[in-house]
Amino acid sequence: MINIVLFGKPGAGKGTQAEFLKTKYNLKHISTGDLFRFHKSNNTELGQLAQSYADKGMLVPDDVTIKMLQDEVERNPDTDGFLFDGFPRTINQAEALDAFLESKGWKVDATIGLEADDEILVQRLLERGKTSGRADDQDENLIRNRYQEYNEKTAPLMDFYKKQGKFHGVDGTGEIAEITNRLSSVIDTLN
């Protein structure tokens, strides 16, 4: 069982790389964005609860997000591990993930941060915005606001995982295959 947390600012390539890694290592890719969309579109109890916060312009509380994640883990007992994308985003979420995995006799084996210069990432998102239809990928000010939020809320997680000896920074620039090879080099050392 290998459990990996994939970090990176918007546009760093987490989703692209997750597609390769989940296949190569038989990991279940769990994206919180996908979980929210699934629960909302299926009108589940958790989806309704999450939507009630979103409708008020509030962030979905950690306990709702954590419950969605736990349910997804429980639905996938036959995987060789999990690739967490977009979670945890805060120290509180990281501690909750650790406690949940520990209750199953598992742990986060590594956190991998895809690192790239903000200017490169801004250009990636603006380019993606031409086809994604996402408004937050088409406005440079919104993109930079997302980076500011990332720096304030998510970046402290790097220190949390560095203290545990689990954080690995990986250069997220270059060709997709090159980045995949860099990530695989880190993951291969975990076995």
**Residue 75 annotated to the active site:** no
Task: Check whether 158 is labelled as a binding-site residue.
Answer: no
Task: Check whether 93 is labelled as a binding-site residue.
Answer: yes
Q: Hey, which residues does 115 pair with through a beta bridge?
A: 171
CA pair distance 183, 114, nearest whole angstrom:
9
Task: Check whether 16 is labelled as a binding-site residue.
Answer: yes
9, 22, 28, 89: which is the annotated catalytic residue? Answer: 89
CA pair distance 12, 122, nearest whole angstrom:
10
Task: Check whether 75 is labelled as a binding-site residue.
Answer: no
Task: Check whether 94 is labelled as a binding-site residue.
Answer: no
Q: Hey, which residues does 160 pair with through a beta bridge?
A: none
CA separation, residue 176 to residues 2, 50, 93, 132 (Å): 22, 34, 29, 19
40, 67, 107, 128: which is the annotated catalytic residue? Answer: 128
Task: Check whether 70 is labelled as a binding-site residue.
Answer: no
Upstream peptide bond of 88 is cis (omega within 30 degrees of 0):
yes
Task: Check whether 88 is labelled as a binding-site residue.
Answer: yes
Contact call for residues 29 and 136 (beta carbons, < 8 A): no
**Residue 89 annotated to the active site:** yes
40, 67, 107, 146: which is the annotated catalytic residue? Answer: 146
**Residue 144 annotated to the active site:** no
Task: Check whether 165 is labelled as a binding-site residue.
Answer: no
Element (H, E) at 78: none
**Residue 146 annotated to the active site:** yes
**Residue 134 annotated to the active site:** yes
> Binding-site residues for AMP, please?
32, 37, 58-60, 86-89, 93, 134, 146
> Binding-site residues for ATP, please?
11-16, 128, 174
Catalytic center residues: 14, 89, 128, 134, 146
> Binding-site residues, please?
11-16, 32, 37, 58-60, 86-89, 93, 128, 134, 146, 174
